[in-house]
Amino acid sequence: MMNKTVVIKEFGGSDQLKIVDMPAGEPGDGQVRIAHKACGLNYIDVYQRTGLYPLSLPQALGMEAAGVIEAVGAGVTHVKVGDRVAYASMPPGSYCERRVMPAAQVCPLPDEISFEQGAAMMLQGMTVQYLFHRTTPLSKGDTVLFHAAAGGVGLIACQWAKSEGITLIGTAGSDEKCQLALDHGATHCINYTTENFEEKVKELTGGAGVDVVMDSVGESTFEGSLNSLKPLGMMITFGNASGPVPPFNLAQLGAKGSLKITRPTLFTHIGKHEDCQEMARHLFSKVISGDVKIVIGQEFALDDVTAAHDALEARRTTGSTILTV
């Protein structure tokens, strides 16, 4: 059985994305084969394609998808043939029609959630879950600064924060994107291409600063993010869309008010089967209750993966992006 798959043989631009036919294979112990219906596109796919996050080559790309189980290896008990499922997982390889993979991070997808939503939400939604519930204590009334608030992770975060009674100050790259973040629950949104977000955060918080910053933009926002925190505040740096954060002097954390800093990744949090299933169930419950709507801003055919990467890198996307199979 052949299987259309997107691979890179060298790191580089979107022209390195090649569609090849590979055998689908049979699942071994603890594995399943999934017939994909849709795959999710994530900014991490760009870091992997450019080599910022190094991989051994050649490498199939893509970190999440949704589909139907079509074969199950020995020892798999939580899913069976015919089940609707979705997943986010390492190593990459989800941009394809069919995939054999370890079952541990594969989650049963509730009937209320479409394959397209499932593919769009697993990686970004479980990221929001761990940012708000597993990284630093957050309580009703706390204020969070969240960069790139109109993106895939961003629009889920805006809605999640609102549902938890957390004040979210978003940033985004245009007035239209800011409006989208506000429409999805951000309390304020700053266009950080036309305004100094650090000054604006001071103004919005009466000079106090925020309790927590969630910064996935990296190089261009890092310093301003630290300066936006209250004393004892928590900096969560979890991405580098503008480039990696350069080395910095830890003493700055003391000078700026005994700040804390962490650099988490989803794959630590979903590394254990039970944690992964529990985080997914929490995410599904938020979506089914209507607290969080999954916004699929763009949809591309798997064959058009190059155009999808170009749009994401050029900041032309909002919400989540999927590739249909």
The CA–CA distances, whole Å, from 307 to 13, 105, 210, 248 equal 11, 29, 37, 36
Q: How far is the CB of 251 from ligand NDP (least distance, A)?
A: 25
On whether the CB atoms of residues 320 and 43 are closer than 8 A, the answer is no
Q: Which stretch binds ligand NDP (CB under 6 A): 29-37, 100-108, 262-270, 302-310?
A: 262-270
Give the range of 70-78, 100-108, 225-233, 263-271 binding ligand NDP by CB under 6 A: 263-271
Of 275 and 313, nearer to ligand NDP (C-beta) is 313
Please identify, using beta-carbon distances, which residue of 110 and 264 lies nearer to ligand NDP.
264
**Which of 217, 226, 287, 325 is the binder for ligand NDP (CB under 6 A)?**
217
For residues 17 and 9, what is the distance between their CA atoms, to the nearest angstrom?
A: 8
What is the number of other CB atoms lying within 10 angstroms of the CB of residue 54? 11
Beta strand 143-146 with 84-88: parallel, antiparallel or unpaired?
Answer: unpaired
- What are the phi and psi torsion angles at 8 (to 5°)? -115, 140
Q: How far is CA 64 from the centre of its chain?
A: 10
Write the binding mask 173 to 202 for ligand NDP: x where contact by CB under 6 A, - elsewhere.
Answer: x---x-------------------------
Residues 218-237 close enough to bind ligand NDP by CB under 6 A? 220
Angle (CA) 72-91-111 rounded to 5° is 50
Report how far residue 179's alpha carbon sits from residue 62's, in angstroms, rounded to the nearest whole number.
30
Residue listed under structure tokens 């609707």:
84
Q: List Cα–Cα distances, 211 to 56, 230, 256, 269, in angstroms.
A: 39, 6, 13, 22
Residues 74-103 that bind ligand NDP (CB under 6 A): none
Instruction: Please answer whether residues 112 and 136 qualify as being in contact, where contact means their C-beta atoms are separated by less than 8 angstroms.
Output: no
- Applying CB under 6 A, does 148 fall inside the site for ligand NDP? yes
239 binds ligand NDP (CB under 6 A): yes
Contact between 214 and ligand NDP by CB under 6 A: the answer reads: no
Residue closer to ligand NDP, measured from CB, 94 or 216: 216
Residues in the chain: 325
Which of the ranges 7-15, 42-50, 100-108, 285-293 carries the binding residues for ligand NDP, by CB under 6 A?
Answer: 42-50
> Binders of ligand NDP: how many residues, by CB under 6 A?
29
Tell me, residue by residue from 96 to 135, as one string, x for binding to ligand NDP by CB under 6 A and - for no binding.
---------------------------xx--x--------
CA angle 256, 260, 263 (to 5 degrees): 125
Told to check if 238 binds ligand NDP by CB under 6 A, we report: yes
User: Which residues lie near ligand NDP (CB under 6 A)?
Assistant: 42-44, 123-124, 127, 148, 150-154, 172-173, 177, 216-217, 220, 238-239, 241-242, 264-266, 312-313, 315, 317
